Amino acid sequence: MNFADFHRRSIEQPDAFWAEQAQLIDWHKPFDTVCDYSRPPFVHWFAGGQTNLCHNAVDRHLKDRADQNALIWVSTEVDKEICYSFRELHAEVQRMAACLIELGVKKGDRVLIYMPMIAEAAFAMLACARIGAIHSVVFGGFASVSLASRIDNATPVVIVSADAGSRSGKVVPYKGLLDEAITLAAHKPARVLMVDRGLAPFARVAGRDADYGELRRKHIDARVPCEWVDATHPSYTLYTSGTTGTPKGVQRDTGGYCVALAASMKHIFLGQPGETYFSTSDIGWVVGHSYIVYGPLIAGMATIMYEGLPTRPDAGIWWSLVEKYKVTAMFSAPTAVRVLKKQDPAYLSKYDLSSLRALFLAGEPLDEPTAKWIAEALGKPIIDNYWQTESGWPILTIANGVEKAPSKFGSPGVPMYGYNVKLINESTGEEIRAADEKGVVMIEGPLPPGCMQTVWQDDARFVKTYWTELAGKQLYSTFDWGVRDADGYYFILGRTDDVINVAGHRLGTREIEESISSHPNVAEVAVVGVADNLKGQVAMAFVIAKDASGLTDNAARLKLEGDIMKLVDGQLGAVARPARVLFVSALPKTRSGKLLRRALQAVAENRDPGDLTTIEDPSALQQVKELVAQK
Ligand code: AMP
């Protein structure tokens, strides 16, 4: 079928279109209504239907592929590789589910998962889905303050964690950070389930902390049936950053998500049952949810879960896995490719990559040199795809499973089926119909299946944050700038809000500012994202010290910079650490006191700051210019 018609049908006849896609999954009870949009912008997909994500990801495949690989866990950190067949995965998930039930988890309860990239993290996610509990995975790289705010928002009954992760062969203990986070949080989880990898000794809190190894043995023969839940039942929440300091809990449903993932595996990722999928992301991010755990398994594929770096033991490790497991689709981020680009290209030709159909890249803009380099080195199609935590699956890309289409360097592609994408002029609020004009990328409601239902426990915030009404239509903002060319291909030009993207990790500058502000010698701070050759963007902090008297001394300045970085590491995690902290005596503000963020960012990137008629003190920018020039 021609993609334009496929897309048109998804927008003009959504009920017929999505009812067809819904056949890709198993339903316990068929749905009554495909799309209930009676209370915009809220939408209920497949209302009346009942299903279960874990059933579709695991149990459903037992009939045809019980002994085929389902989860392949590879750790180059601890030098271990374990393949779980669908039958074994089914058993492990039931054991984990029985442990959670014993610890008091019931349908609708939240379970927070704070774990490294180990198979038990996937078991925990699937176990929650199995019993109708709502998981909330917090990226293992986040530290105690980030974790505490998520504990307070999700109010979990149980937290599943582990003694430690490992990075570059170095043990990264988790339990201390978790205990600190629970101390900081107002909500106290009743129980903590600890997976002890034997990497780092930790203290147990009597009566609260349970040992997974012990409980698992007790439930070795567990039989825990799938709890059939309504299609609209929340499957998980995943926190993401926005303009304000408090992260939002993106809430996902069950039926819509399951259908959206199954459809995307067929139309976009071309995954066939029995094949192997390899996504290099982390389960703490949305790509890990959709395309390490749920998507490939729903499609009956084996999925590789990888703990380690792309360059250890050498830069051939990922490609050796492609050869060994005959990976057909691989999913990574541009930063990882830029890291590999610095290594010897011989690693790419060392292995047999004939099974690989395409490399999918997402999470941040894919620059042309990186795309060209990897396309040539691999000799495979490189498929950029643009989406967000909120959407759960690609908004813009190429659906080669529907119709083969060419990619264009610098563009993730065209709007996917189900997404009625519009470009809106920021100042007039009108739709841009002409080619090559910059606007805000918006989506006309209803959002398709798989996208966020609401902000966890905060419908008002969902409406206020994301939606605007235009000529009687509800429009969802992606908060990204974009342009569309004459062929309908979109180009993403960066965020319209205060979110930055460091190596594909989405971070809120406000959260980093709040953390830096807690340093006793910080009076004021502004954090902006600055272009970086490797990571796409890095955070740069501009600080006004309370007592700047000693800061003329180089060593004292470096010490304060180091202290501030350590503070961010300890509170938010190293991912949020600014690359530089520069000290200034004033920040560029308007006469009414509003920070001129875009001007500050422009100057920090050596660009023209544009219109400065409202600036109160032009010397503030001059100072930034000089500091940046010195570095
Ligand atoms: P996250 O919610 O962490 O997945 O981050 C989503 C944001 O990452 C988007 O709003 C974009 O700003 C950026 N992004 C994701 N994928 C792409 C892509 N393929 N090209 C450009 N920007 C992207």
Q: Which atom of ligand 1 is least distant from the CA of 396?
A: 19
Q: Which atom of ligand 1 is least distant from the CA of 286?
A: 4
Among residues of the chain, what percentage have pLDDT more than 90?
91
- For position 344, what pLDDT does the model report? 85
| Ligand 1 mean position, distance from CA 500 (Å) | 10
Q: Which of 4-8, 24-28, 348-352, 448-452 has the lowest mean pLDDT?
A: 348-352
DSSP string, 531-575: EETTTEEEEEEEEEES--GGGGSHHHHHHHHHHHHHHHHHHT-GG
Pocket test for ligand 1, best of 240, 364, 366, 455 (most atoms within 8 A of CB): 364
The string of pLDDT tens digits covering residues 545-581 is 999 999 999 999 999 999 999 999 999 999 999 999 9
Looking at residues 239-249, what average pLDDT do you find? 84
| Ligand 1 mean position, distance from CA 340 (Å) | 21
Instruction: Please list every protein residue whose CB sits less than 6 Å from any atom of ligand 1.
Output: 240, 286, 362-366, 384-389, 412, 478, 480, 492, 495, 501, 506
| Ligand 1 mean position, distance from CA 361 (Å) | 11
Pocket test for ligand 1, best of 383, 481, 501, 537 (most atoms within 8 A of CB): 501
Angstrom distance (rounded) from CA 88 to CA 70: 9
Residue bearing tokens 């749905």: 31
Q: Tell me the range of 142-156, 233-247, 607-621 where mean pLDDT is highest.
A: 142-156
Q: Which two tokens stand for residue 112?
A: 């927070």
Angstrom distance (rounded) from CA 309 to CA 312: 6
- Bridge partners for 72 per DSSP: 83, 304
- For position 613, what pLDDT does the model report? 84
Amino acid at 280: T
| Ligand 1 mean position, distance from CA 288 (Å) | 14
- For position 611, what pLDDT does the model report? 82
Which residue has the CA at smallest separation from atom 15 of ligand 1? 363
| Ligand 1 mean position, distance from CA 368 (Å) | 16
| Ligand 1 mean position, distance from CA 481 (Å) | 11
Angstrom distance (rounded) from CA 546 to CA 566: 19
pTM: 0.96
Which residue has the CA at smallest separation from atom 7 of ligand 1? 388
Whether 243 has a pLDDT exceeding 80, the answer reads no
Which residue has the CA at smallest separation from atom 5 of ligand 1? 388
| Residue 627, SS3 per DSSP | helix
| Ligand 1 mean position, distance from CA 29 (Å) | 35
- For position 631, what pLDDT does the model report? 65
Angstrom distance (rounded) from CA 497 to CA 478: 10
The string of pLDDT tens digits covering residues 389-425 is 999 999 999 999 999 999 999 999 999 999 999 999 9
Pocket test for ligand 1, best of 506, 535, 537, 575 (most atoms within 8 A of CB): 506
Angstrom distance (rounded) from CA 367 to CA 482: 15
CA 572 centroid distance within chain: 16
Looking at residues 439-455, what average pLDDT do you find? 98
Looking at residues 259-287, what average pLDDT do you find? 97
Pocket test for ligand 1, best of 290, 414, 480, 502 (most atoms within 8 A of CB): 480
| Ligand 1 mean position, distance from CA 122 (Å) | 24
Nearest one of 338, 329, 342 to 303, comparing CA atoms: 329
